[in-house]
Amino acid sequence: MAYKLKGGSLMFTKSLKIIFFIIILELNLFSKTAEEFAYEGVKYYREGYYKSALELFKKAVENAPEQSTYWRYLIVSCREINEPETSKDVYYFIKKWVPEDKWTPTVQNFINETEKLISPPEKQTIDKKEPPQVSKKDEAIKYYEQGANKYNQGLYNEAKQNFEKAVELDPEYIKAWYGLAKSYYNLNDLESAKSICNYLINNLKVTGEDKERTDKLLAKIGEKESSIQTKKRRNRRFYG
């Protein structure tokens, strides 16, 4: 028995047919292998339908991400299309599907080229800038630490040079001034050592432990000066 459908029923039947056709088409796509997608993509590519070819090559990559030939087909199609947005889309697609340790030179070159499109101008400007300058205070600390290391090794002249650089960069660096005074003391430049101690007390107004250390060093300087004077007197008597 035949049934006649009128009006809305006929439209409903047509809609069902379209939906059924789409389902069959999708099932057909899902059932294809990577090789079949790639083969079909090559056909479209040769005919100049690069965007259609691109989509098929994507399917090939999704089905067989390890096949480098499919990556190359994808990139070649993208370059033929020559649109920034398409390049970005393929860039992110490759990042998602292709392991970085498997990238061929072709893939790496494409990634490098496309990153220039993706990176904002300000990022490119930052990349060209010189590294940020280290502050004077940080530089002073670096020289102080080098000086302290040399001092502990008994290299008093080298320690003195580092402490001098530290106080040039940070004139209120008490520890560096004190290290410089001790270096002069060990180099027997007692006048310079005493002058720095007086500077710490009178100008930098050291207090607490810093003042205590400085006073002790002044006392040692005084003792050493007395010892030197005593030796000189003895020598004059002996040779005089």
* Mean pLDDT within 93-104: 82
pLDDT score of 21 more than 50? no
Residue with tokens 């008490």: 174
Domain 18-119 fold: 1.25.40
**Which has more pLDDT, 225 or 102?**
225
* Mean pLDDT within 90-110: 83
Q: Extract the tokens encoding 36.
A: 């079949």
* Mean pLDDT within 1-11: 44
Q: Are residues 183 and 164 in contact, defined by beta-carbon separation less than 8 angstroms?
A: no
DSSP state of 100: G
* Mean pLDDT within 28-35: 62
pLDDT score, position 130: 53
The long-range contacts involving 79-86, CB below 8 angstroms and separated by at least 24 positions, are 80/45, 80/50, 81/50, 81/51, 81/54, 84/117, 86/51, 86/54
**Which has more pLDDT, 130 or 227?**
227
pLDDT score, position 50: 86
pLDDT score, position 112: 84
- Residues of the chain within CATH 1.25.40.10 domain(s) are 18-119, 136-239
**Which has more pLDDT, 31 or 165?**
165
Distances (CA, A) of 158 to 15, 144, 190, 225: 91, 11, 17, 24
pLDDT score, position 120: 58
pLDDT score of 6 more than 50? no
Domain 136-239 fold: 1.25.40
